[in-house]
């Protein structure tokens, strides 16, 4: 999993940032993997409440019916991102924007943490917003 994720940023990000991006992409891949089996059904239901007052609470309720505490309203998933390498950066930003506020809040906490580098030092991880 991590090696396949690591190959994605090759053309879209500076080589020096690839290692920093891998962590965020791995988390994204795992979250998408959890949501994928029911994602199409969820997105169909989400479209019906989009723009309505209280849509955020309605989306949370719909997610709970599938056994999830988070959601993503984007039709994209990780395999689809990999199927379009020429547009992976833009599609990744679009996919990330579809995550529920709690996932985005958790990401902001990750972006301020440090992760070990292959040289034994530490490097700051990249925020999904910078991807």
Q: How far apart are CA 75 and CA 40, in angstroms?
A: 7
0.75 surpassed by pTM: no
> What's the distance, Cα to Cα, between the start and end of the chain in Å?
19
Lowest mean pLDDT among 7-21, 77-91, 107-121: 107-121
Over residues 15-51, the pLDDT tens digits come to 666 666 677 778 888 898 999 899 999 999 999 998 8
pLDDT band at 105 (very low <50, low <70, confident <90, very high): confident
């Amino acid at each position: 999993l991590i090696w396949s994720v690591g190959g994605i940023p090759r053309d879209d990000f500076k080589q020096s940032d690839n290692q920093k991006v891998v962590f965020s992409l791995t988390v994204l891949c795992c979250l998408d993997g959890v949501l994928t089996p029911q994602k199409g059904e969820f997105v169909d239901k989400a479209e019906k409440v989009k723009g309505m007052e209280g849509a955020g609470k309605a989306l949370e309720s719909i997610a709970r019916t599938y056994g999830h505490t988070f959601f993503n309203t984007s039709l994209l998933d990780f395999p689809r991102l990999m199927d379009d390498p020429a547009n992976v950066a833009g599609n990744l930003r679009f996919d990330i924007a579809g995550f529920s506020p709690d996932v985005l809040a958790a990401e902001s906490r990750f972006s301020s943490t440090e992760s070990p580098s292959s040289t034994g030092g530490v490097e700051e991880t990249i925020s999904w917003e910078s991807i």
